[in-house]
Chain A
Amino acid sequence: MERGQGPRKRPDAYVIGVGHTAFGEAWEKSYRQLMTEAGLAAIQDAGIQGDEIDEVFVGTMSTGKLVGQEHVAPLLLDGAGLADLHIPATRVEASGASGGLAFRQAVQAIRAGGADIVVVGGLEKMTDVSDADAQAIASSGIDQEWEHFFGANDAALHALVAKRHMAEYGTTREQLAAVAVKNHAHGANNPLAQFRRAITPDKVLRAPMVAEPFTVFDCAPVSDGAACLVLASSGVVGSYRKDAVKVSGSGQASDALALHSRATTTTWRSTAEAARRAYTEAGISVADIRLAEVHDAYTINEILAIEDLGFVKKGEGGPATLEGRTGFDGDIVVNPSGGLKARGHPAGATGIAQVCEVVWQLRGEAKGRQVKDARIGVTHNTGGTGATAVVHVLEGGF
C-alpha cells in the first residue's frame, strides 16, 4: 500500500463471458478441441483480447487417466493461441468439484487484487475410454484403499446414502425418480444438454439396476464437454459488457473423504458449511434465491443438496421434488439446465457449466427455459461423496 492511502477495498469478481460446448459423446472432437471451442466462445462473449488475460485456471478431474495427459493448463492455453503471452496457467482438481473449485480460484485471484481479467475453464473427455473404465476413473474421488479396494464404487456409496435417507426420513423410490424426471424435462429445453427427452417415472424405475435403489436413470451419464468463463474485477468491469453478473458469495468446505469416517451420511456438512459461508458473504438468505444449479450426479444428491443448501427442511427434499416445488412452477427452480443428469456430467466441466447456466438466466438469455424474475442464483458442486463442496452466489442486474 502506498503511503497516504487508506486501506483499499477488496475488488469484486464479475462474470463477463461464458462459453459452453454441447455436452454428450463427442467422438469427433479431442479434449483440446472441446476446451478451445468453449474458451474462444467465452472470450468472444466477453469481448476481450488474449493479451488482456492476467491469469488462467482450468478444472479437470482426471485427464491423466482419461486421455493420458497431465499438465493440461499450459497446453490448453497454447491451444487458444496464447502461449506466447506466458500467462500463468494452473490446473485445479477436486474430483467432480474440479470446475467449481477452479471457478473459486479465479474469483479469489481477482479478489486478491493481482488480476483484472481471469479466464477459467472446465473440461472432461470421458468417452476415449470404455464406459466401465470411465466409471472406475470417476470413482477415483472416493477412498481408493478403504472403499474402492473393497468393491465399493461411486454409485454404491451414493446408494448407501440414498438407502440411509430412505430409512431415516421416509424418502421413497418415487421421490428419487422425480429428480430424474424433472431434470430430464428441464434438459429437453436446453440445446446443449446430452439428453433432450422427457422421461416418465416408470422409465426410471424399470431401467437396469446399478446399485440398489439406483437404476441407470438415477445416475448422471459419462460425458464429454467443456465450459469456460471470463471474469473481470470491479476495477475494469465497466469497460466490458453492461450485463455483468456479480459473484457476491463464494464458499468452499471439506469433509472426511470416506463415508465411513463421518458421523452422518444423510447430511453433507461440507455443502451446508460452504452454503453458509457463501450466503453470509453475499449477505443473502435462502428466501432471496430464485434458481440453483446443484450437483445431481445421482438423484439422491439433489435431494441432499436442496436440504443442505437450506431450500427445504432436512427430510423434505423428496416430497418437495415430487410436489414440483423445485420445478419451474416452484419456489426455487433447481437445475433449469437439466442438471448433471440431463445436461451431462463431463466432470471437470460441470462446475463451470453451472455458472454458465446461472449467468444466462440472470442475463435473461435462457431461451425456452428462462426462470422469471431471476436476480440471484446459486451454484453447488461436490466431489466424490461430498468431501469437497463449493457454493457460489451470483447476482445479476448490476
Chain B
Amino acid sequence: MGVPRFWREIPQRYNLQASRCEVCQAIHFPPREVCPDCRRASIGRMGTVRLSGRGRILEWTRVHKAAPGYEKHVPYVVALIHTDEGPVVTGQVVDSDPASIEEGAEVHAVFRRLGEDGEAGVIHYGTKWRTARIAAKE
C-alpha cells in the first residue's frame, strides 16, 4: 500500500481525532463525513474533536492466530472499547496485567507502533489501550 493511505489517517489514529455533528453534537469515531442521525442537515456541519483516550472494555478476546503483521505478538488481546465520549472502537489491550482485562475495566489510550507494511517497510503507528489497574495482583 502507498504511504498516503497511512499518512492521511494520522490525525485519527495518532490523536483519536473524532468527528462531531454540529447539529446534534453526536461524536463519531472513526470520524464520519455525514451524521447518520441528522443526515442532510449535517452536510458541511461536521467538526472535529479529540477523544480523551479513556474508556471501558465492552468485550475482549485473546487472539492466537494473528492478523498479518501481528504474528510475533500472539497471543494478543483485541477488544471493543466504549470510549467515555460514546463511540465504540476496536483496538488491542497491551501492557496490562491479564487479570485486569475484563468487561467494564477502565482503559487508557497509549501510542504504539502497530506494524509495518510488508517489505516496503512503511511503519505505522496508532492507538492501543492499557488497563488503568496495572499489576494489582502482584
Contacts and interface: CB of A to CB of B under 8 A. Distances in A.
Nearest to A155: B65
Interface of A: 132-133, 135-136, 139, 143, 145-153, 155-157, 159-160, 163-164, 167, 208-213, 258-261, 265
A259 B60 contact: no
Contacts of B62: 209, 211-212
Given A146-B90, A150-B128, 14 more contacts: A132-B71, A147-B90, A148-B67, A149-B126, A150-B78, A150-B126, A151-B73, A159-B61, A159-B63, A163-B61, A211-B62, A211-B78, A259-B90, A261-B88
Nearest to A167: B103
Contact of A210 (B9, B65, B103, B126): B65
Q: How large is the interface on B (under 10, 10 to 19, 20 to 34, 35 or more residues)?
A: 20 to 34
Given A156-B78, A167-B103, A260-B90, A149 B114 contact: yes
A153 B67 contact: yes
Greatest chain A CB density within 10 A among B61, B64, B92 is at: B61
B89 interface: yes
B92 A151 contact: yes
B63 A164 contact: no
Interface string B78-121: 11100000011111100000000001000000000010000000
Contacts of A148: 67
B64 A211 contact: yes
Contact of A163 (B59, B70, B71): B59
B61 A136 contact: no
B66 interface: yes
A260 B80 contact: yes
B59 A139 contact: no
B11 interface: no
Given A148-B67, A260-B88, A167 B114 contact: no
A160 B126 contact: no
A331 B76 CA distance: 41
B44 interface: no
A163 B60 contact: yes
Given A149-B114, A258-B90, A259-B80, A167 B65 contact: no
B2 interface: no
Nearest to A161: B59
Contact of A151 (B60, B63, B64, B88): B63
Contacts of B60: 160, 163
B4 interface: no
B96 to A, nearest CB: 15
What 3 pairs across the A-B complex have the smallest Cβ distances? A159-B61, A153-B67, A260-B88
A209 B92 CA distance: 18
A146 B66 CA distance: 16
B40 to A, nearest CB: 19
Contact of A160 (B70, B78, B92): B78
30 contacts: A132-B68, A136-B67, A136-B68, A143-B90, A145-B30, A149-B114, A149-B124, A149-B126, A150-B78, A150-B91, A151-B63, A151-B67, A151-B73, A152-B90, A153-B67, A156-B67, A160-B78, A163-B60, A164-B59, A167-B59, A209-B64, A209-B75, A211-B61, A211-B78, A212-B62, A213-B61, A259-B90, A260-B80, A260-B90, A261-B88
A133 to B, nearest CB: 8
Contact of A212 (B61, B66, B114): B61
Contacts of B68: 132-133, 136
A147 B126 CA distance: 12
B80 A160 contact: yes
Given A146-B30, A151-B73, A167-B103, A139 B67 contact: yes
Given A167-B103, A259-B80, A135 B65 contact: yes
A210 B124 CA distance: 25
Contacts of B92: 150-151
A143 B64 CA distance: 20
A88 B23 CA distance: 47
Nearest to B1: A144
A211 B66 CA distance: 9
B127 to A, nearest CB: 8
Contacts of A163: 59-61
